[in-house]
Structure 1
Amino acid sequence: MSSVLGAFPAIVNRSVLSPLKILPKKFTSTRFTFGDSADPAQDSAASPPLFTSAKVSDLIKEVPSIESYSPHPLLPLGSLQTIYSAFADTVQVDVVHFKRHVLLLPDGGTLACDVSPPEFDEEGDGKRNTVVINHGLTGGSHESYVRHVIPPLVAAGYRCVVVNFRGCGQTPLSTPQLYSAAKTDDLRCGLLWVTKRFPSTSIVLIGFSLGANVVAKYLGEEGANTPVKGGMVLATPFDLKIGSDALASSALYDRVMSSNLTKKCAVHSGTIALDPAFHAPLRRLIDPKKYAAKYPEDVKQRGVKPGSLKWVDDTLTRLCGGHVAPYGGFPYDSADHYYTNNGSILLLDKVARPLLCLNSDDDPIVPMSMLKEAEQKVKKNSNVVLAITPGGGHLGLWTSPAYASKKETGPGAGSGTKPVRWLGPVAKEWVKAVFDAAEADGGKWRETTDLWSEGKVREVHDVEYDVLCEEEVKPFDFNESNGEEDAKASKERRKREAKADAKALKDELPAGLGSRLPSRVADGEPIGAKGVDTAGTTPSAVSSQGTSRQNSGAATPASFSSAPSSSSSTTSTTTKPVLPTRMAWLLTPLLPDYPLYHPLKPDEPPAFPAHAERRLKGTMRQCVSLPQVGFLELPESTRVAGVGKIFQGGISIEGLGTNVKGERVGAGEEGKKKGVWAQWKGSQPGQGRTVAGL
């Protein structure tokens, strides 16, 4: 009752007085905190240097759209704004097209970078400025808030690149390592690729929610040593511990975010389980109630509510959310240990680029207590400004068409009563202000921040990797009792799918190569099975620890490396065959004392045909000072994660193992098959679909 009464003034102001245009300006004005207002007595030597001659208080004057915000009258509260974000269909409002690039990383991970618009994806074009975007928890380039900011940026002439977290955005997980609020190295890998493909391009970063923490944390870690000109972060959970405590008091958001992340882990559980150390955590994660009933003392000792987002972080994220030493700080002792060491608030005073932090005062996930703490940090750094809007929720910021300009908010957004987002013009104006200020200073510090200056990056040639069907990754057995039965069923399923794969492969490969496959492979028999000719194949050497794999030393068939992409392949039938989803697996160790993982065990032959024909080589560009940062760009012929495809944001890329919601799909009688999560979810009460926008 008290919470309803407390919200009553906001409801009256935003639903009644604002539409009548009699609401005092102070109730719609954005509140700013600048580093310029820091105590003059502070030690100036401890503050980061200004990147441009213009202070952030000057730059913010170039962003008139940020000065005021009024929530849509029907969405006066932060919770309503947040919930509406999860269900609003804006695919045909913010129409965005991407071209996908896929990178294989030095630890074996897979990263997808989506460039928008595709016509700005011209290799070597460094004259056009670039905006690099990080999405929120379990999101991707499909998210509505990501798609919303891109059209105005593109209209201003900027190229946009969304760096999807590993395992997100219809990207397969190819190592037992996830992403997290702590992990900034994947962003570094994306930036390294951007600066290679578009030399001399100027870059500004934008981050949302979890991605906002990653962006702010990265800028604090790098200080003055980044090629990035500036950044903008939205709905940043600056202090992860405060955020976790706030979520604990909100059953709705805690349950939804926990379900989203649990689903993501379940979909990729086959890869995560390649490390036997994660078998027990996966089972604890997927059925917390069962675990709590079986081990009540352990749950009591951990002090974490089963089924909460903190339960996910305490069970799995703290263990595999990033690199282990010496390449990172994982694993952590507990979720609290992970939280207290990785909030971007710890590094706000180290940021040496113009950074706009935009938050709402009624965000149900990022409470005002956290923002008050952030304000104190911002006051110590003249490069950072914190802007707090009166309303907007978490990544909502919905307003009425009458309040927003039709020109700035997209097709069909300037009329009627349907809520439209307010954020686009703000992002465009801030990004332009940062680029203009950096250009006015003549590329200050360009030489010291060039990632590709002499000696910073090495090229490792003939790096081997193989490309396998996604079905080679065996589903993890969440039920310990029926493992034998599941393994048998899985083997039969994989054999059936091998037959379909064999035909698709013969149609896909260049003329002549398909005829050189072993005869029984063409019928879908596994290579290495009894009676199958395996001449020309080389078994890969795998280390004795788990399923971690070392360099196989196999040669690369030149015939496959020149294979055309699936988009250009022809078939002899009128119906194009459903081609199997592909995953790339690194074979050449590039990080000392860091194991590589692979779905095939030493004594297990591939279940799918032409394994040897899919073993390839490429060049890995690797940072000398941070060897975990680098990339090997996969060619379109590998078909991994939709590489080379042009697609519309918000609509699933066809032919991949997951859809845009993160649900497992694949070839089958009806074009879909149930995955691990779907099978498990069907027997569990209260497990809904993935909720977007968080």
Structure 2
Amino acid sequence: MSQGMPTNLGNGHIETLLPYLLRPVKQQDYQRQRIDTPDGDFLDLDWVKRGQKKLLIISHGLESSSRAQYVQGMADLFKQNGFDVLAWNYRSCSGEMNRTARYYHSGASDDLDVVVAHALKNNDYDSVSLIGFSLGGNLTLKYAGEKAEGLDPRIQSICVFSTPCYLKTASHQLATGFNRIYTQTFVKSLRQKVVDKHALLSRQGFDLSRLNELRTLPDFDDQFTGPLHGFKDSDDYYEQCSSRYFIKDIKRPTLIVNAANDPFLSKECYPYDEVAASQTVSLEVPKYGGHVGFFKFGMGNVMWSEARALSFIRTA
């Protein structure tokens, strides 16, 4: 499948929104499995099983799920090309609220570790590839860097798209210009989760009285995401969880694809220096694609990102 480059649709916002709003996607016949976490919570895993020996594990973006069109599109292409697929849902993202006060965040690699360990425990797969989108890309890179040489040898390749490799400036960029429209949607959804968890959070000392005054991701992360997950504040959370700091330790073939016109990403999210110093990680910056868009004319209903991921993983 020839990839070329994503199509120029005019600007990064159009290239972000058009596939999201207009792309018809085949609904995957997921088999849901619920697994327990060590802290008494649960994760919902959605499988596409065909008895293959190769597995793809997909990590979705902020306030998304395994049902997102970009997740299902990727799952469908890999299913057609000899892979089983596991699209996991972060805590609070599967359609049912999780049990504990914590939910998920950009650096919650402990949950990805639980998912990977579960997928591999029965030795059903000879090889595993990881794909992450946006927040899921950051989480995936952090996980691979933390594990370094200790990453399970069956994990043979990693591919991430639209990854905010430096969380602080990316989160602040989302609070500017047209990006405020996206931010409103994200923060509204996150605030509702706080409301749904009000009893748990109140018992832990969180003040919900000014919840509706939080308008940006840095505001929300400063009041909730950071402190709830063991960080001092939003800056501490961003600094400890930004994947750019973990790239140097990744030991498996890894591809980072961030479009040059991605409206969500600040210039610090393009880790040129970190990749230049790595023997295993490469960075591609196509001129077009937006944020998790990557539409290309002439490829039918397959996104450029899906074809690029399949090509990379096949040859890694």
TM-score, normalising length: structure 2: 0.92
Alignment of 1:155-170 (within 5 A): 155-170=80-95
Please, what is the CA RMSD of the aligned residues?
2.0
Is the 8 Å Cα contact of residues 255 and 307 (structure 1) preserved in structure 2?
Answer: no
TM superposition shift of 1:96? 1.9
User: Which residue does the alignment assign to 2:183?
Assistant: 257
Is the 8 Å Cα contact of residues 134 and 162 (structure 1) preserved in structure 2?
Answer: yes
TM superposition shift of 1:202? 1.5
Q: What residue ranges of structure 1 are gaps of 5+ in the alignment?
A: 1-63, 289-305, 323-329, 411-420, 435-694
SS in 2 for 1:161: strand
TM superposition shift of 1:261? 4.0
TM superposition shift of 1:233? 0.6
**CA 1:273–1:254 in 2, change beyond 3 Å: closer, same or farther?**
farther
User: Which residue does the alignment assign to 1:201?
Assistant: 126
SS in 1 for 2:258: strand
CA distance in 1 between partners of 2:23 and 2:98 (Å): 28
Is the 8 Å Cα contact of residues 63 and 186 (structure 2) preserved in structure 1?
Answer: yes
Of the candidates 347, 365, 368, which is equivalent to residue 246 of structure 2?
347
CA distance in 2 between partners of 1:265 and 1:104 (Å): 25
CA distance in 2 between partners of 1:185 and 1:310 (Å): 23
**Residues 357-398 of structure 1, C-alpha deviation per residue, up to 9 Å, x if partnerless?**
011000000133431xx0000011110000011111000111
Structure scoring higher RCO (CA < 8 A, sep ≥ 6) equals 2
TM superposition shift of 1:310? 1.1
**CA 1:308–1:265 in 2, change beyond 3 Å: closer, same or farther?**
closer
Is the 8 Å Cα contact of residues 173 and 179 (structure 2) preserved in structure 1?
Answer: no
**CA 1:281–1:391 in 2, change beyond 3 Å: closer, same or farther?**
farther
CA distance in 1 between partners of 2:16 and 2:199 (Å): 34
SS in 2 for 1:399: coil
TM superposition shift of 1:244? 2.1
CA distance in 2 between partners of 1:257 and 1:77 (Å): 19
TM superposition shift of 1:82? 1.3
Q: Does 1:316 align with 2:224?
A: yes
SS in 1 for 2:189: helix
TM superposition shift of 1:71? 1.5
CA distance in 2 between partners of 1:149 and 1:422 (Å): 10
Alignment of 1:98-117 (within 5 A): 98-116=30-48
Of the candidates 226, 233, 237, which is equivalent to residue 164 of structure 2?
237
Of the candidates 73, 94, 97, which is equivalent to residue 29 of structure 2?
97
TM-score, normalising length: structure 1: 0.43
Identity of aligned residues (%): 25
CA distance in 2 between partners of 1:76 and 1:65 (Å): 22
Alignment of 1:305-454 (within 5 A): 306-320=214-228, 322=229, 330=230, 332-371=231-270, 374-401=271-298, 404=299, 406=300, 409=301, 421-434=303-316
**CA 1:65–1:241 in 2, change beyond 3 Å: closer, same or farther?**
farther
**CA 1:178–1:85 in 2, change beyond 3 Å: closer, same or farther?**
same
**Residues 11-69 of structure 1, C-alpha deviation per residue, up to 9 Å, x if partnerless?**
xxxxxxxxxxxxxxxxxxxxxxxxxxxxxxxxxxxxxxxxxxxxxxxxxxxxx845x31
CA distance in 2 between partners of 1:272 and 1:86 (Å): 31
TM superposition shift of 1:197? 4.1
User: Which residue does the alignment assign to 2:173?
Assistant: 246
TM superposition shift of 1:276? 2.5
CA distance in 2 between partners of 1:422 and 1:366 (Å): 19
CA distance in 2 between partners of 1:265 and 1:199 (Å): 40
Q: Does 1:80 align with 2:7?
A: no
SS in 2 for 1:248: coil
Question: Which structure would you say has the larger Rg?
Answer: 1
CA distance in 2 between partners of 1:399 and 1:159 (Å): 25
**CA 1:65–1:337 in 2, change beyond 3 Å: closer, same or farther?**
farther
TM superposition shift of 1:147? 1.1
Structure 1 residue identity aligned to 2:11:
L
CA distance in 1 between partners of 2:2 and 2:99 (Å): 42
Of the candidates 184, 203, 208, which is equivalent to residue 282 of structure 1?
208
The number of residues matched between the two structures is 314
TM superposition shift of 1:245? 2.8
TM superposition shift of 1:309? 1.4
SS in 2 for 1:257: helix
Is the 8 Å Cα contact of residues 195 and 201 (structure 1) preserved in structure 2?
Answer: no
CA distance in 1 between partners of 2:34 and 2:295 (Å): 33
CA distance in 2 between partners of 1:244 and 1:275 (Å): 23
